[in-house]
A and B are shown apart, each in its own frame.
Chain A
Amino acid sequence: MLSVFAKRQQLSDGSEQGVSQVLVQANLSMSWHANLVLAGCIAVVCFGIAITLAFMGFWMVLPFAGLEVIFVTCCLYWTVKRLSRKEIITVKDQEIMLEWGYNQPDERISLPRHWSKLVYNAPASIFDVGSLFLQSHGKRHLIGESLGREEKKELYEVLKGLLANKESNTGAAG
């Protein structure tokens, strides 16, 4: 039922239910909780030094330490947030559903299955990673944005296969 398409690919087929899903997520090697512990370790050292100096009258180190700890925490939060955002592409008989979010979908787009077109722009140069869209009624929806060039192409092949498979299952006219 679920295809996990991330830095690691684990595929399973859900065709018996008539629904196939692809989950796209970037590789994240440390949890948010562990990142918080890391930020805490940095904060303890920075504030330990700054507060000691502040007690000795050299308080000006304190605002710099505070700003830095806030900045470190924000950067770690931003990194984890970016890497843990999930994208689920659900292909049903009549519908293609695109969902984005973290633990729950916070953005959802439903496209009519038979009026949707999968468009893959291959990388134009060595600098380019290419792009992948689902296009319907004149609107383009970017998918697999967090993926690199090889993974994008792989996702394109997987989705192309799923769409073709559904096409033959439902016997829809092309």
Chain B
Amino acid sequence: MSTAEAHHDDHDHHGPAPGFKRWLYTTNHKDIGTMYLLFSLIMFFVGGAMALVIRAELWTPGLQIVDPMFFNSMTTMHAIVMIFGVVMPAFVGLANWMIPMMLGAPDMALPRLNNWSFWIMPFAFTVMLSTLFMDSGGPAGGWTMYPPLTLQMGDSFAFVVFAIHFLGISSVMGSINIVATIFNMRAPGMTMMKMPLFVWTWLITAYLLIATIPVFAGAVTMLLTDRYFGTSFFSAAGGGDPVMYQHIFWFFGHPEVYILILPAFGIISSIIPTFARKPLFGYDSMVYATASIAFLSFIVWAHHMFTTGMPLAAELFFMFSTMMISVPTGVKVFNWVATMWRGSMTFETPMLFAVGFVVMFTIGGLSGLMLAITPADIQYHDTYFVVAHFHYVLVPGAIFSLMAATYYWMPKWTGNMYDEKLGKIHFWVSTIFVNLLFFPMHFVGLAGMPRRIPDYSLQFADWNAIASIGAFGFGFAQLIFVWVIIKCYRGGEKATDQVWEGADGLEWTVASPAPYHTFETAPEIK
């Protein structure tokens, strides 16, 4: 006799552990994506608080709130936290949430590795931030850790290198997982050129990370052995070359800049067609432009170090190769504008942030072009003009794209619509204050105010005061963002499955909120 039975209660099922253990042991891509996003939100406020310490000190000339050493620690840690603790994890969180759903895959290819790659990060940042409480203080030589200055740091140096190694391991694990998922777990019929742009940009980003992280790991390890084991890789006294550290660092560092912005391009390329109610203009050219930017990012590193001195031919090469990046970037901006052209546009919060991104990222791109010109760069180098440039790229660029993504996909994550009115208030307050914060930095930079100093000449006082007002306004505006998220999580108008009228893609075919397990049966893509 053979029989068949169905039960609803058995001890053999694979449910998550209860309480905190669910989050500790989870291998579900949505859980891990949520953890990444929450972690980066918390770190956004940690890094933001450091920025506010900097801006409070710079509100007026003179030394008034913190001592210069702590100020330098704040500039160093602010950068490390924002790059490795906010922007990168947030993009990885979005990748975790959205890539399997966009590809029609049930989960990431390596779920346990995914769990590890997340949990390494809070550990690494605990180590890193704990150095602020050491007798010698936290790292204060800048996030680039140039020798010989960085070799004169206190005991925190070894801890920072240790933490950087762990962050690198986490990034590599995350990247490998993304690459393995994209190549091996696409639904039948989902060819490479049918993949959403967000998936494409993440694939290229993951490749950049895999290629450059060993370079960074090797560079900081050589610093460590120079400091503790008597080697002389970068010590001129022992026959080493400190300038070579800069070359090696920026060989990692410049692709890192694109690691921080390419996924943002993918997000904006998803949002604009939805609210323009038109397909993305020039999908193929977008893919090739992304790949071109990634390739060029490997051959432009020395534009960060024109002032160290290099042969004229090298200066010309790095100047022109840097300028060439504006071509594929221009293709992208053109395609976004062309997508909006004669579209049936509406301006919900994600679209507002996306349009804000296009406008303000372009401002950052244009100041980047100015910095690419070698003779001009020698004038601008290490001034607040550079600070203005990269903050325009990273804040109204990368951070705005993350906010756009949150508003865009939050109804899919929570099943509830967010408060549109509060979202729009958040956008406008953020946009006004972010420009108040960073635009004056162009002026003080062109006038010669150096970066990384806690005090400055009186002639820079007015613009610095305005920038500080902008910083506090932008910082407090983010409390609106947190409130919108909490409110949306707790309830609100129920979201439909498609959420947005013009939304297109596999992620919009599943229920809202997205079920814990999606695409267990792979869809057939026509």
Q: With the chains together, A163 CA to B2 CA distance in Å?
A: 7
Interface string of B136-152 (1 = CB under 8 A from A): 00000000000000000
A61 with B215: CB separation less than 8 A: yes
Closest residue of chain A to B245 (Cβ to Cβ) is A58
How far is the CB of B239 from the nearest CB of chain A, in Å?
A: 10
Residues of A within 8 A of B210 (CB): 42, 46, 68, 72
Closest to B240 in A: A57
Interface string of A117-155 (1 = CB under 8 A from B): 111111111111111010000001000000111110010
Q: With A and B bound together, what is the CA distance between A115 and B2 in angstroms?
A: 6
Instruction: Tell me if A173 counts as interface (CB < 8 A to partner B).
Output: yes
CB interface residues, A 88-141, toward B, < 8 Å: 96, 113-131, 133, 140
Contact of B184 among A42, A79, A160 (CB under 8 A): A79
| With contact pairs A58-B248, A129-B517 given, residues A113 and B176 touching in the complex (Cβ less than 8 Å) | no
Determine the chain B residues whose CB is within 8 A of the CB of A166 once the complex forms: 2
Identify which of residues 50-82 in chain A touch chain B, using a CB-to-CB cut-off of 8 Å.
50, 53, 56-58, 60-65, 67-68, 71-72, 75-76, 78-80
Bound complex: CA of A117 vs CA of B2, how far in Å? Answer: 5
Residues of B participating in the A interface, judged by any CB pair closer than 8 Å: 1-10, 12-16, 22, 28, 105-106, 109-110, 113, 172, 176-177, 179-180, 183-188, 190, 207, 210-211, 213-215, 217-219, 221-222, 225, 233, 244, 248, 251, 515-517, 519-522, 524
A49 to B210 CA separation, bound complex (whole angstroms): 12
**Does A42 lie within 8 Å of B207, measured CB to CB?**
yes
Give the shortest distance, in Å, between A60 (CB) and chain B (any CB): 4
Within the assembled complex, what's the spacing in Å between the Cα atoms of A113 and B3? 10
Give the residue of A7, A96, A150, A164 whose beta carbon is less than 8 angstroms from that of B187.
Answer: A7
Residue of A nearest to B519 (CB): A148
Given contacts A38-B179, A53-B248, A114-B1, contact A120 B7 (CB under 8 A): yes
* CB–CB A117/B4 < 8 A: yes
Q: Please, which residue of chain B has its CB at the minimum distance from the CB of A164? A: B4
Cβ of A11 within 8 Å of any chain B Cβ, yes or no, is no
Q: How many angstroms from the CA of A30 to the CA of B179 in the assembled complex? A: 12
**Quick one: closest A residue to B186, CB to CB?**
A29
Q: Given A29-B183, A64-B218, A68-B172, check contact A122 B6 (CB 8 Å).
A: yes
Is A120 a contact of B6 with CB atoms below 8 Å? Answer: yes
Contacts of B15 in A (CB 8 A): 124-125, 127-128
Cα separation A147 to B22 with both chains bound (whole Å)? 21
Q: Do A58 and B233 touch (CB < 8 A)?
A: yes
A133 vs B520: C-alpha distance in the bound complex, in angstroms? 19
Contact with B along A21-63 (1 / 0, CB 8 A): 0000001111000110010001001100110010011101111
Contacts of A61 in B (CB 8 A): 214-215, 217-219, 248
Assess whether A58 is in contact with B218, with CB atoms less than 8 Å apart.
yes
Task: State which residues 150-174 of A face B: CB under 8 Å.
Answer: 150-151, 154, 156, 159-160, 163-164, 166-167, 172-174
Q: How far is the CB of B352 from chain A (nearest CB, A)?
A: 34
For A173, the chain B residues whose CB sits under 8 A away are 1
- Which 4 pairs between the two chains have the least Cβ-Cβ distance? A148-B520, A61-B218, A7-B522, A64-B214
CB-based nearest B residue for A146 = B106
Can you list 26 pairs linking A and B with CB atoms under 8 Å apart? Answer: A29-B184, A29-B185, A29-B188, A38-B183, A42-B207, A46-B210, A50-B215, A53-B215, A58-B244, A61-B215, A61-B248, A75-B109, A75-B176, A75-B177, A76-B176, A76-B180, A115-B1, A121-B10, A125-B15, A127-B22, A127-B28, A140-B12, A148-B106, A148-B521, A154-B521, A173-B1
Provide the bound-state CA to CA distance between A164 and B520, in Å.
Answer: 26
**A60–B184 Cα gap in the complex (Å)?**
32
**Alpha-carbon separation in the docked complex, A171 to B20 (Å):** 53
Bound-state Cα–Cα, A151 to B190, Å: 20
**How distant is the Cα of A128 from the Cα of B480 in the complex, in angstroms?**
36
Q: Point out the residues of chain A lying under 8 angstroms from B2, CB to CB.
A: 96, 113-118, 163, 166-167
A80 close to B1 (CB less than 8 A):
no
| Cβ of A83 under 8 Å from chain B | yes
Partner of A124 from B8, B214, B219 at Cβ < 8 Å: B8
One of A8, A60, A133 near B222 (C-beta < 8 A): A60
Alpha-carbon gap, A75 to B15, bound state (A):
25
Contact of A127 among B6, B16, B177, B218 (CB under 8 A): B16
> Is the pair A72, B524 in contact by a Cβ cutoff of 8 Å?
no
B113 surroundings in chain A (CB, below 8 A): 75
A78, B114: Cα distance in complex, Å: 14
Query: What residues on B are CB-neighbors of A65 within 8 Å?
Result: 214, 218
What's the Cα separation between A122 and B15 when bound, in Å? 12
Q: Are B1 and A49 in contact (CB under 8 A)?
A: no
Q: Distance (Å) between the CB of A11 and the closest chain B CB?
A: 14
Say which residue of B12, B22, B172, B179 sits within 8 Å of A131 (CB atoms).
Answer: B12
Instruction: Give B223's nearest chain A residue, CB to CB.
Output: A60
List chain B residues, Cβ under 8 A from A172: 1
Q: Is the CB of B214 within 8 A of A50?
A: yes
For A76, the chain B residues whose CB sits under 8 A away are 176, 180, 184
- A148 neighbours in B (Cβ, 8 Å): 106, 517, 519-521
Contacts of B524 in A (CB 8 A): 8
Asked, given contacts A56-B244, A78-B110, whether A147 binds B6 with beta carbons under 8 Å apart, the answer is no
Closest CB-CB distance, B508 to chain A, in whole Å?
19
Nearest CB on A from B117, distance (A): 11
Given A124-B9, A129-B517, also A75-B180 (CB < 8 A): yes
Q: Which residues of A contact B233 (CB under 8 A)?
A: 57-58, 60
Cβ–Cβ < 8 Å partners of B22 in chain A: 127
